[in-house]
Structure 1
Amino acid sequence: MAVSKYIHQSLENRSSFEAFFKRNYHLSCLVALRYVRNEQEAEDIVQETFLHLWQKRADLKIQKNLKNYLLHAVKNRSINYLHRGKHFDDLPDSNLLTNLNEDPDEAFSEEELAVQIASSIDALPNQCKKIFLLAYNDHLTYDQIASTLNLSKNTIKTQMGIAYKILRERLRNYFINLFALSFRRLFK
């Protein structure tokens, strides 16, 4: 197969495509899940989309934002799936449907933020992560966490301080970018 001169670098060879897949699979599943609301169906849609992207790579002329193209393809494939299955009551609110002409920098920022937060939480030291998740997922107070883990309340406070510091640092650039996008939108 002859490779188009317009082919995106992530589609040039198998290893580049695999790296692109690994970077974007989870985010793509979150996009599909917004529409189909079933994890298995969302994963199937994402896998089909990646397969289609790989099979049609020579015909595609995506030079800049392959990730944005992928996320729109996942969104469209998800909506088509719902239409074919006559699941019209499962369609999300119209404010979740995004316009294909939107600014690529603003597209899917909620999903990207969720991925960044989950990745940052996952990178916390084990004990710190356990305490943080008990506080935020299970909504336990510091006293309840201390009792559950048989630790002092001061240890819980210290670990939560460490978690906040690490998360602030890891998410700093992302929040600055979100702020800049929101600020820019005010003056359009």
Structure 2
Amino acid sequence: MKSGEHRNLILQSVSSFEHFFRMNYHLACLVALRYLKDQQIAEDIVQETFMGLWQKRNELTIESNLKQYLLRAVRNRSLNYLERSRQFDQLTDAAKELAVDEEQSVYADEELAVRIARSIEMLPPQCKKIFLLAYQDDLTYNEIAERLNLSKNTIKTQMGIAYKILREKLKSYFLNLFILPFRQLMH
């Protein structure tokens, strides 16, 4: 009987495959443990390999003997597992770094928002009103002038005063202040 025919018999009969499993399971686990260093993961890899063999038994073309094929498949699955776990560890490390950066960024943004709100509260009443219409309601100078029945020049002057006061109060955050949507206000 040729080895290919023998292989086909092992993979076609449930009892033959169970016998093949019992005879090679321990050796396959040792091969997996050589790479993985974790008994449970090694056993899982071996079981997956045996299941794959059984599920694809009609599609497989095995040139060498079945035992060699099994051990090579266990080794390859073990190496693939290690590669995936390394990639996962790298992704996890990157995600942890991003989470720390985001936490710091959120904290800095919240701190800036509190400082801006406090500084806005300290503006003179008319200046504060105009600034909030521009900042919160996102109105242009012309729209604010119409709403308050004031000239556009008065709005510009009051906004200039607001910017000067805020710039002074928020010196350390001044660069971040320009990230806010003030560019639209100049239209």
| TM-score interval for Structure 1 and Structure 2 normalised by the shorter chain | 0.3 to 0.5
Q: TM-score, normalised by structure 2?
A: 0.42
Q: TM-score, normalised by structure 1?
A: 0.42
Structure with max Cα Rg: 2
- Higher relative contact order, structure no. (Cα contacts within 8 Å, ≥ 6 residues apart): 1
Richer in helix (by share): 2
